[in-house]
Amino acid sequence: MILRTESKLVLACIVLVTGIEESERYLEAPEVTSVSLAEPEGLYVQWWPVRQRNDDPVIGYKIRLWEIPESSTTDIQLVDAYKYPGTVKHEESSKSFSVNNTDPISREEIVGSANKGLMSATVKIKYNTIYEVRVLGFKKDVDGPMSLPTRIKVVKGSGYQVVLQRSVTGCRITVPSEVQHGNDPYPYEHNFNF
């Protein structure tokens, strides 16, 4: 009778050890630290890699992009403190911002893995289009969960450029320009968080 009890105990320990190994295969969502403008017509995406084991490594990362449709209307209204009639264009996303986007992806870029340090990639986009950007790590047989979403739109017009960005932590407008220091121009970004 004592032998049976000991064998059951040993069997239970083996099951627990096996369960721990399988649960460690789970991948975390990467933490995207920045999505910004990269010239010409691109986004520069930075993220922290996920933790991994040497015997079950992360092969790489997938940057997923969704093109978010917009609707726009144009009205003639009084502008400039209601003094002058002018054209006012209203644009808004046709899809609400959510961390649970289940729409089919528009595009996916694959980036090789690095074991440590901040990772980054540049992705081509079209100006004046809203994109939702998410990153995930993957192994040979499994995709991990996606990072939190970031929406971004690079608005480019005649003589100006503005980057509009929305994440779960807030919204930001970036106006890229240049400043002069001596005779040399330096890139300058003015960020407005709201």
> Does the pLDDT at position 189 exceed 50?
yes
User: pLDDT (tens digit, 9 = 90+) per residue, 90-142?
Assistant: 777 878 888 888 788 889 999 988 667 899 999 999 999 999 999 999 998 89
Domain map of the chain by residue range? 31-97+104-193
Output the pLDDT for position 147.
95
Q: What's the mean pLDDT when you consider all of the chain? A: 80
| Stretch among 84-88, 120-124, 143-147 having the lowest mean pLDDT | 84-88
Q: CA 65, 71, 75, 77 torsion: positive or negative?
A: negative
**Pseudo-torsion of CA 116, 117, 118, 119, nearest 10°?**
-40
- Overall average pLDDT of the 162-175 stretch: 88
Sheet holding 107-112, edge to edge: 107-112, 60-68, 130-138, 150-157, 160-167, 170-181, 184-193
> Rounded to whole angstroms, how far apart are CA atoms 76 and 71?
17
Residue 149, preceding peptide bond in cis (omega within 30° of 0): no
> Does the pLDDT at position 70 exceed 70?
yes
30: three-class secondary structure by DSSP:
coil
User: pLDDT (tens digit, 9 = 90+) per residue, 23-36?
Assistant: 445 789 999 999 99
Given pLDDT bands bounded at 50, 70 and 90, which one contains residue 85? confident
Are the CB atoms for 122 and 43 separated by under 8 Å?
yes
